Amino acid sequence: MTFAPKVRPLGITVLSILGAVGAVLSVLLGAALVISTPDLISMLIKLDPSYSTVGNDVLALSIQIVAAFFVVVGLVALLNGYGLWKGKAWAWWITVSLALLGAFSSIFILPMGAVSLGIELLIIYYMLRPSVRLYFRPQAETLPLTSA
């Protein structure tokens, strides 16, 4: 028995590519923070001399923690983009969960969060469409091709 090949929905392709671009930018931002830590500390102290009482080590550690956060988020987003591209069920769950979380958090910053809320709800609606859900099912569960 042969199975119909999976056809990736266009919206999933778009979400995968946007996710990968965002992931790369996040990792680059983290790397830029690591590289520019001494300059950032100098700039902070020039902007507000009270930062000099905190100490350079504490400021450097704070910047490094933020940088690590951006790198980890970027790597997870890159992995999720790959999972969306390949039709992995776990990527569907991550995407829907993050969209729900984003929609929920957008409610608390209304009216400024209205655009974000709209985008998140659109992603949730799209991900719940039957044709999209079908793409994330294992290959064995798709309909077999009939032989003529």
pLDDT tens digits, 21-48 = 999 999 999 999 999 999 999 999 999 9
Residue 131 CA to residue 143 CA, distance in Å, equals 13
Give the confidence band of 2 by pLDDT, cuts at 50, 70, 90.
low
Q: Does the residue 2 lie in any domain?
A: no
Residue 25 CA to residue 63 CA, distance in Å, equals 17
Higher pLDDT, 1 or 47: 47
Look up tokens 């969209």; give the residue. 99
For the entire predicted model, the pTM comes to 0.80
- Among residues 148, 129, 21, 3, the alpha carbon closest in space to that of 85 is found at 21
pLDDT tens digits, 107-122 = 999 898 899 999 999 9
DSSP code for 142: S
Look up tokens 């504490």; give the residue. 58
Domain span at residue 126 reads 87-138
Contact 67, 33 (CB under 8 A): yes
Q: Does the residue 3 lie in any domain?
A: no
Q: Are residues 76 and 94 in the same domain?
A: no
Tokens linked to 37: 């830590």
Give the confidence band of 52 by pLDDT, cuts at 50, 70, 90.
confident
Q: Are residues 15 and 80 in the same domain?
A: yes
Q: Are residues 16 and 65 in the same domain?
A: yes
Q: Are residues 35 and 81 in the same domain?
A: yes
Give the confidence band of 1 by pLDDT, cuts at 50, 70, 90.
low
